């Protein structure tokens, strides 16, 4: 199994609802590396790297949170897997 890296933009009620801290916690539990950050337009940007099933579990976990209301997800695969440690909030 190969690792994959995906770039996401989440829109909806995704800022000031614990999105970044929840993403960080879930990603670390799933051994996913990458980062997450708020953008000026009210969206959240994230890059996640790991096995496809684990990344699917991360996205599913974010969608199931009580206060996070994801309305749209833009996703594209990043062709280069990076050598990095952990998952961080930027």
* Active-site entry in 20, 25, 63, 83: 20
Residue among 71, 66, 50 nearest 58 (CA): 50
User: Is 38 among the residues known to form the active site?
Assistant: yes
Catalytic residue, from 38, 63, 83, 90: name it: 38
To the query of whether residue 20 is one of the catalytic residues in this protein, the response is yes
Catalogue the active-site residues. Answer: 20, 38
């Amino acid at each position: 199994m190969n690792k994959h890296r995906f770039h996401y933009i989440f829109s909806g009620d995704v800022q000031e609802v614990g999105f970044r801290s929840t993403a960080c916690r879930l990603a670390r539990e799933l051994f996913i590396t990458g980062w997450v950050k708020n953008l000026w337009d009210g969206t959240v940007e994230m890059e996640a790297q790991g096995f496809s099933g684990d990344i699917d579990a991360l996205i599913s976990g974010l969608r199931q949170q009580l206060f996070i209301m994801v309305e749209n997800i833009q996703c594209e695969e990043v062709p280069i897997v990076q050598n990095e440690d952990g998952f961080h909030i930027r």
